[in-house]
Amino acid sequence: MEILNNLNWRYATKKFDTDKKISKEQLSCLKEAIRLSASSYGLQLYKVLIVSDPEIKKQLQQHCWQQDQIADCSHLFIFCSYKNYIDNYVDEYIELITAGNELEYTALEGYGSFIKGKVFEKTPIEQSAWLERQPYLAVSNLIMACAEQKIDTCPMEGFTPEDINRFFKLDSKNLHAVVMVAVGYRSEDDASQYRKKVRKTEADLFEIIEG
């Protein structure tokens, strides 16, 4: 399958070619791949900042352990979770579903109440952990979409979230920086691309449960 070829081709790029940039068409495709990602209840409880300005990326580098990928990539995707859950997020989602399917809001009001009830059952700590997990499925979609187009990526948690929050004033938007993905094209000087991909064996990774 072509998807396996793409996954074997990709790796966490350590050094980007600063002269190569992704096109507007490619960026549009990547944004759509993120938008179509699966999410808990379909709520998409996250925002994605996309930074391409070289000066801003350079400023961000000091908050990201001085990693070269931050400044050298074509585009930096910063995935932000919501800091606090608000019932209105569910109401907005139900409105989207009903409008898109030409239904009355009352047709899915019960589903909205069900979602709110399940979220309410979580403790504040559980809610916080749940919200922080939400962007990761979308990160996977981005990485897969990039690999299909032979665009390189490096997912990154190596940064100080509080500094990024302050830099973009995310607290005022109920957002919290969770994970970044540097996107662009590998440099020929990046030694990582020439290493053999190493993963656990199938036997070590999977346990088949049969009835």
Identify the band that residue 22 occupies on the pLDDT scale cut at 50, 70 and 90: very high
Identify the band that residue 210 occupies on the pLDDT scale cut at 50, 70 and 90: very high
Cα 205 from Cα 194, distance rounded (Å) = 25
Domain at 36, CATH number? 3.40.109.10
Q: Is 90 exceeded by the pLDDT of residue 211?
A: no
Q: What pLDDT score does 32 carry?
A: 98
Domain that holds residue 117: 2-187
Looking at beta carbons, which pairs linking 112-121 to residues 24 or more positions away fall under 8 Å?
115/41, 115/43, 115/90, 116/87, 116/90, 119/85, 119/90
Q: Is residue 205 part of a domain?
A: no
Q: Is residue 192 part of a domain?
A: no
pLDDT tens, position by position, 174-197? 999 999 999 999 999 999 999 999
Cα 69 from Cα 183, distance rounded (Å) = 9
Mean predicted confidence (pLDDT) in 114-121: 98
Distance of CA 32 to the CA centre of its chain: 12
Number of domain units in the chain:
1
Q: Is residue 201 part of a domain?
A: no
Tokens 């409008």 sit at which residue? 99
Q: Is residue 211 part of a domain?
A: no
Q: Is residue 124 part of a domain?
A: yes
Could you count the other beta carbons within 10 Å of the beta carbon of residue 56?
Answer: 14
One-character DSSP codes across 172-184: GGTEEEEEEEEEE
